[in-house]
Structure 1
Amino acid sequence: MTFSQLEIFVVVAELCGFTLAAQQLGISQSAVSHTLKKLEEDLGVSLIERNKSQAELTVAGTRLLPRAREILGLAETIRQEAADIKGLQLGSLRIGSFGPTSSLRLLPEILESYRKQFPNIEVRIDEGNDQQVVQWLQERRVDVGFVVLPDEHFDTFALIEDQMVALIPKTHSLANKDEIVLQDLCHVPFILTEAGSAQLISKLFASEDLIPDIRYRTTQLMTTIALVAKGEGVALVAELALPQALPTDGYVVRQVAPQYKRTIGLALHSTRQASPAAQAFIKMAVQLLKK
């Protein structure tokens, strides 16, 4: 078993195909197939199902994929630490980000400073919803990810706190109220955004023994805002997730009483085992956002 074999296995699994994997790795498809077959022979199990239109993981492949990513991550850490000893700053960093809060509000400032100090680190950003980022961390698809805290599954670092606010159509009677209570949002159609706070919102309603009348579930905050502006329902969102320059025609933003806080932080599997690139990113993020 070699690092090259494990890398090819991971790329084929992530791209769900031999052709795409070959293109990304810059080698022939036959080389990808041969290398993967040799790995399967060495392990004595089948990793990829080949008789379908897409390459799919077998049961063994699904179980071993996180381990392969872990081994490759540790190998990258060794390479980066060796480069640091030689006075170099090389390596890669894969970040999981969700929603406007991290992708638009936090990441640009952090990456601007990070790029100046570590210009040779290759950074890849994978974007999804908050639950996807947690899954990517569990599967070791990303080195570090933005998450809603608390999260006891990882080593975490708090970065910033905001609060939940209500989005109300301007034509709705609730728009005349200065503050909204959760119960107000249960008597009208509700739009649940899964862009970064879905679990938190569900917990808030459950804590008050309330059940919102969910009409829509969206994965993009902009869709939620557009639906509210059209009068399709109300929504509960994180204040920092709202675009700064977006006109509020068609809806209003109202404070929620009592205040419901949300803490955003960075998470990773193990601070001790993290690569120098990941450790530097976390350190810089904490310094910038805890000013």
Structure 2
Amino acid sequence: MKTSELLAFVTVAKIGNITQASARLNRVQSSISHRLRNLEDRFGITLFDRRKNRISLTAQGKILYEYAIKILELEEDCKKKIASLKHNTPSIRIGLIDCLPPYIASLLIDLSNNIDQCIDICIGNTISLLNSYEKNELDMVIIGSGFSDVRHARLSLFSTDLVLITERNFPTINKISILDGEHFLLSSRKSALMRNCDILIQEGGIMPKRIIECGSYPVLFSSVSEGKGVALVMRCSINRDVRDKIKIHDLHGRFEKFQIELLYRTDSPYIDTLKLTNMITSVFQDPLLHHI
């Protein structure tokens, strides 16, 4: 017995006319009649007395009507309670490093459609996101690897190339020493790439003229394209519009790769951790991210 059949039955009983009931339910008359016949066949009874101009319930129909009203009310109450539970379930708070392509944040937000929970995204640098995670302000963080400790549950997500970027007319960088005396630009001194930049400077035996914090990746890319300095960035962070305005220099050896990892809590009472971590992993398997 389907609730759609009970709804058709109750509506006809209240209105007293199948044609009008079908209009109320936005269904064709044959559909309403079919549902009524299904109920009659299931119970082996006649629901309506059709000998008068206005159809009325039979004695058996009146009994079913009382139960149908209760069933439909229970269904509606159930829907309201489920909707209320969804509304009151806390959002999942995910921190995301700012050096990833913007569409990654959009894909993570879209995951909420598959788990019936809102996903809130916080963009920041690795150190600030890790601090927020430690304070329980975030449920998960996607950051550069090497900053978490053994207490954290972690999952490797993605590895990307590190490259140097300069303005278009800059000479090809065949060795790091060519960068001696240059301005080095960073999105933030608290970013994971700050450590990589320090190692590059130290092992390259160079002395930057100045290290400048730009505050964001759009400002960093704009400054590089205007010849204000060089920057160490992940290749995947360079979108098509930026690529046409800068020159990209490949790196080799220990500077070549940068690892992204997910930190997550295993004891969250309102997160299906296994399901969500699997979905986040699938986001970072996007071919576009690997072939930029």
TM-score strictly above 0.5 = yes
Tell me, in whole angstroms, the C-alpha distance in 1 between the residues paired with 2:274 and 2:139: 10
Distance 1:289 1:87 in 2: 27
Distance, in Å, in 1 between the alignment partners of 2:197 and 2:126 is 12
Among 213, 220, 237, the alignment partner of 1:217 is 213
Cα distance in structure 2, aligned partners of 1:267 and 1:186: 37
* Long gaps (5+) in structure 2: 1-81, 287-292
**Aligned counterpart, 1:95:** 94
Aligned partner of 2:177 in structure 1 is 183
2:160 maps to: 162
Structure 1: 5+ residue stretches without partners = 1-82
> Cα 1:247–1:207, aligned 2, differ >3 Å: closer, same or farther?
closer
Match for residue 141 of structure 2 among 145, 168, 175:
145
Moved more, 160-169 or 215-224: 215-224
- Whose relative contact order is higher, 1 or 2, with alpha carbons under 8 Å and at least 6 apart? 1
**1:38 aligned partner:** none
- Equivalences, count: 198
2:187 aligned partner, one-letter code? T
**What is the percentage of aligned positions where both structures have the same residue?**
14
Corresponding position of 1:26: none
Q: What is the aligned partner in structure 1 of residue 284 from structure 2?
A: 289
1:54-203 equivalent positions in 2, closer than 5 A: 90-101=89-100, 104-112=102-110, 114-119=111-116, 121-153=117-149, 154-172=152-170, 174=171, 177=172, 179-194=173-188, 197-203=193-199
* Aligned-residue CA RMSD (Å): 2.9
Structure 1 runs of 4+ off > 6 angstroms? 86-89
Post-superposition CA distance 1:200-228 (Å, at most 9, x none)? 32234335554433342122111111111
Max Rg structure: 2
Aligned partner of 2:271: which letter? P
TM-score calculated relative to the size of structure 2: 0.59
Task: Tell me which residue corresponds to 2:16.
Answer: none
The one of 250, 254, 261 aligned to 1:255: 250
Counterpart contact for 2:154–2:261, Cα < 8 Å: yes
Q: How does 1:236-247 map to 2 (within 5 A)?
A: 236-246=232-242
- CA gap of 1:141–1:207, structure 2 versus 1, over 3 A, is farther
